[in-house]
Amino acid sequence: MTTQSSNSYSVDPQTAHQFYINGRWSSPVIPASLDVVNPATEQVVAQVARGSAEDVDRAVAAARAAFTGWSATSPELRARVLGKIHELILERKELFAQALTLEMGASISSARAMQVPLAAEHVRVARDLLSSYRFRTIEGGTAIEREPIGVCGLITPWNWPLYQITAKVAPAIAAGCTVVLKPSELSPLSALLFAQLVHDAGLPPGVFNLVNGSGAEVGAAMAAHPDIDMISITGSNRAGALVAQAAATTVKRVTQELGGKSPNVLLPDADFAKAVPLGVMAAFRNVGQSCSAPTRMIVPKSRLAEVESLAAATANAIIVGDPQAEDTQLGPIANEAQFNRIQTMIEAGLDEGAKLVCGGPGRVTGFEKGFYTRPTVFSNVDSAMRIAQEEIFGPVLCIIAYETVDEAVAIANDTIYGLGAHVQAQDLDLARAVASRIRAGQVHLNYPAWNPMAPFGGYKRSGNGREYGVQGFEEYLETKAIVGFGE
């Protein structure tokens, strides 16, 4: 797929203009291409093939033909293949890190420390589950069997490109499904690398297929396709709704991981000197381009001035710059449309009367090119403001004050979303009690370590279904009851 050494990455223009279908690289039915822009320079660095409904038909046909054989393989065989995929991701981690930096502006340090190793963890978890998961249980003479759902259409976003691919592909093929992947057209390079990797790992032809293209063309064709049994999408609410509507006519399973406006509730006994800086960095991780980023910091009104000072000091110390520089913490926003969206929302915060603590509109000083955004903190934010209700998807933090714990919980739940949440308190019983009252699919207490086994997904308009761990694996399985099976 690339001209490469073990530590370098460059796009192979021939392979980039092809899709991976039925175990080989092949050209699109209708020749067309999409530009890939480096957000650090705003220059086109590659072109990839642009797919059509006809290409989706070819990929689905390959996946359907491969399903019978792959679904009948043993868990042990599937685990061995996943083990090889995991091994190759780690072997090629620098190659992936460089590709991620080029295609979506991830700082090289975060690509190496988070984007690639956490992606590898999803593969490891899927592999390890196969050694313990019981696909058949007997309950009172009835056999409960869990069987692969079939051909899965997987639609992944631009903000965590490799991570979201492995979070879907690994459990799907572990379950015995076959897949058609549509990565984001804005960050497709790591997906091309992954396709070559699964080929090199020995995955049989047709089990994994890749078609690049737009959501309006390839994504819509996948969602409506009668031979796709399930769609899993991570993306915006608008995209998730369109996919669900298109999928409804064929009554396929649809799982969605969509937007978020996650709260971070600092209870009165929290260690503010620790909790506030960590909260700022959690909100700004991946330049704020994470659906579960805790971008609403909910704090006691009596501590507001202290929180503002701590937040400003943390945000102002963040190094924003060239993603290839070793000391850069935040690179550019991943694409121009998202950069413009963030600028619009910062202006909305100012117009609505929020207090600008630090940052603000405009590019980072010294960068005339590249989608570099100033880490921004607002205070005196009211829950009715746009910046408190709408997903900004950038390094913008809203500080909202409360008088009572009940009010803090009400503010936390005052959103159409329910993906993630954080609670900080020295009294763990109090933190647990507050967590149980927050309507979100995953709640973090006192900034715990990331857990790849913890199910992840949303309440309300943040989606449905779960990813990661056992629950994410089971999304790719059907349940069959065989009554009268016997003990």
Q: What is the pLDDT of residues 167-187, one digit of tens each?
A: 999 999 999 999 999 999 999
Rounded to an integer, what distance in angstroms lies between the CA atom of residue 349 and that of residue 352? Answer: 5
pLDDT digits (tens, 9 = 90+) for 203-217: 999 999 999 999 999
- Is 257 a known active-site residue? yes
pLDDT of 76 over the 80 cut:
yes
What is the residue-wise DSSP string for 467-480? BSHHHHHHTTEEEE
Which residue out of 185, 257, 308, 391 is catalytically annotated? 257
Full-model pTM: 0.96
Nearest residue to 56 (alpha-carbon basis) of 217, 231, 241: 217
**391 is a catalytic site residue:** no
| 330-351 average pLDDT score | 98
Pairing of strands 396-402, 376-379: parallel
Residue 4 has what pLDDT?
41
Residue 7 pLDDT: 58
Q: Which residue has the tokens 């032809």?
A: 205
Report whether 153 contacts 476 (CB < 8 A): no
Which pLDDT score is estimated for 258? 96
Residues of the chain with pLDDT > 70, as a percent, come to: 99
> What is the sign of the dihedral through the CA atoms of 194, 49, 184 and 61?
negative
Task: Indicate left, alpha or beta for 134 from its phi (over 0: left) and psi (-120 to 50: alpha).
Answer: beta
Tell me which residue of 444, 433, 441 sits closest to 294, measured CA to CA.
Answer: 444
C-alpha triplet 77, 78, 83: angle, nearest 5°: 100
**Fold annotation for 13-258+463-482:** Aldehyde Dehydrogenase; Chain A, domain 1 (3.40.605)
Structure confidence at residue 3 (pLDDT) = 36
Query: Where do the structural domains in the chain lie, given as residue ranges?
Result: 13-258+463-482, 263-450
Give Cβ neighbours of residue 190 (< 8 Å, ≥ 6 apart).
Answer: 96, 99, 100, 103, 161, 162, 165, 183
Task: State mean pLDDT over 354-378.
Answer: 97
The pLDDT, as a whole number, for residue 8 is: 72
Give the model confidence (pLDDT) of 404-451 as tens digits: 999 999 999 999 999 999 999 999 999 999 999 999 999 999 999 999
CB 331, CB 287: distance < 8 Å: yes
In the predicted model, what is the mean pLDDT of residues 76-89? Answer: 98
Kindly state the average pLDDT of the residues 375-393: 98
| Local confidence band at 487 (pLDDT 50, 70, 90 cut-offs) | confident
- Phi, psi of 245, deg, nearest 5: -65, -45
Instruction: Look up residue 364 and give its DSSP letter.
Output: P
pLDDT tens digit string along 39-50?
999 999 999 999
| Active-site residue, selected from the candidate residues 152, 177, 291, 398 | 291
φ, ψ of residue 185 in degrees (nearest 5)? -70, -15
Give CA angle at 447 (444, 450), nearest 5°: 75
Which residues contact residue 401 at a Cβ distance below 8 angstroms, ignoring those fewer than 6 apart?
298, 299, 300, 301, 304, 380
Confidence band, pLDDT 50/70/90 cuts, at residue 1: very low
Residue 13's pLDDT is 77
CATH number of 263-450: 3.40.309.10
% the chain with pLDDT above 90: 97
Helical (H) or strand (E) element with 88: helix 75-91
In terms of DSSP bridges, do strands 142-148 and 136-139 run parallel, antiparallel, or are they unpaired? antiparallel
Q: What is the CA radius of gyration of the chain?
A: 23
Average pLDDT over residues 324-337: 97
